[in-house]
């Protein structure tokens, strides 16, 4: 398990244990975290699971692949350094303590 902190746009934090092997998006879905819609179910075919990764974690995540980069073009106010799609971040023990922030809205 890895403890992941999801921060809503208004600042409310949700700290949940997410099993290793799931994605950060699945952890949000399984714990009814508001702000991550995941309309495509994790197929990297939309941008409704977009988050801003805490700066302390950006260099500790695997790099974005081309498909994720393309989908982030459709996200609400993407940040080139911090924006990620949670469906593309596989939870590992090394992600224990990861903190992500939801955008104002998902599109």
- What would the pLDDT profile of 60-94 be if each residue is shown by its tens digit? 999 999 999 999 999 999 999 999 999 999 999 99
Pairing status of strand 2-7 against strand 99-101: parallel
pTM above 0.85, yes or no: yes
pLDDT digits (tens, 9 = 90+) for 12-68: 999 999 999 999 999 999 999 999 999 999 999 999 999 999 999 999 999 999 999
| pLDDT given for residue 80 in this prediction | 96
Q: Which of 95, 92, 89, 87 is nearest to 36 (CA)?
A: 87
- Domains along the sequence of the chain with CATH: 2-101 (3.10.20.30)
């Amino acid at each position: 398990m890895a403890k992941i902190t999801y921060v809503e746009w208004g600042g409310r934090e949700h700290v949940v244990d997410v099993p290793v092997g799931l994605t950060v998006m699945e952890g949000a879905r399984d714990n009814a975290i508001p702000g991550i819609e995941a309309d495509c179910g994790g197929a990297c075919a939309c941008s409704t699971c977009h988050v801003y990764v805490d700066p302390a974690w950006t260099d500790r995540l695997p790099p974005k692949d081309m498909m994720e980069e393309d989908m982030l073009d459709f996200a609400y106010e993407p940040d080139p350094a911090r924006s990620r799609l949670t469906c593309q971040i596989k939870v590992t023990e090394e992600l224990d303590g990861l903190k992500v922030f939801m955008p104002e809205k998902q599109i």
